[in-house]
Structure 1
């Protein structure tokens, strides 16, 4: 859930509302492949609930993703095809944002673009630091332990200031996505 803080501590309420309305909520079954290594993707995906495994051919699983993680964000930034396969480890729910629609929003709304790219930069920086720790010190991220200690030790103080509001924004996004899905089902 820590990744939620990176994204939703930087984005504002109107950003959250746009994402909820522009995205498509989808269920993902256990072991369904969301992204195939080397195959271009048309959406960036925000995991709303569940767990995903990230694997690289010849290496195996290199990471696990959970609620609040983006999937496919690297391909959004550099246009290269995905460098890993992402598959559901449990039944999951995700918000799919069409890349072309998102790119138009980023090009036309510079304030949103600034916040969105800052959030991705913080998220990717955290992933790089975690990779460095694993490589240099052999540490494994188990997902266990005292969340507050991890937050204190690993997050930028500016991000920590937004912890409470980030959680509220993520909860709001979940509700908005559900409302949009319900309205669509009634139509």
Structure 2
């Protein structure tokens, strides 16, 4: 399942439309760096197409990111520079929205703020569970379980991700 669905499923249509209107498309070529270790990140990204690699200091790939992944969320939450780099491994298109735009929206819309942070929490929880599973500490019987409250928003989230793809011509 694309993890962006956890995120978009917690926002309402008005907020997703606001994000589409206030974000932009960024086209990247193989070898480009979306994020550099130690350098501040000023945007949140959603991968629309292509592939990225999360790399350590010695360019060891620790994760591959494809369509539907969110990038830059940890630096967004903590306002700290990233501890890894994100490098383009195939031509990639991402949706980007600046931290400045999002924080301005927070100050005028508390519902968006609450939903946005809850959505990021669900997204990060899912990522941590996947990492725990990959390290061999997960519970195989629970691998495909999804909280019913989250599941309710997944169908809508799929349609919302489709809106973003359509708006930026990545369908």
- What's the TM-score once normalised by structure 2's chain length? 0.88
Runs of 4+ with deviation above 4 angstroms: none
Counterpart-to-counterpart distance in 2, 1:156 and 1:51:
28
Deviates more, 1:52-61 or 1:42-51: 52-61
How many aligned residue pairs are there?
A: 168
Task: From the superposition, tell whether residues 28 and 160 of structure 1 become closer, same or farther in structure 2 (CA, over 3 Å).
Answer: same
Secondary structure at the aligned position of 2:135 is classed as helix
Say whether residues 1:172 and 2:142 are aligned partners.
no
User: Quick one: distance in 1 between partners of 2:32 and 2:44?
Assistant: 16
Structure 2 portions without partners, runs of 5+: none
Q: TM-score, normalising length from structure 1?
A: 0.81
Residue 58 (structure 1) shift: 4.3
1:25-174 map, 5 Å: 25-58=25-58, 60-137=60-137, 153-174=144-165
C-alpha contact (below 8 Å) 1:43/1:72 kept by paired residues: yes
> Partners of 1:69 and 1:125 in 2: how far apart?
14
d(CA) in 2 for partners of 1:25, 1:5:
19
**Unaligned stretches of 5+ residues in structure 1:** 139-149, 179-187
| Native 8 Å contact 1:5 1:159 kept in 2 | no
More helix by share: 1
Aligned to 1:50, the other structure's residue is in SS state strand
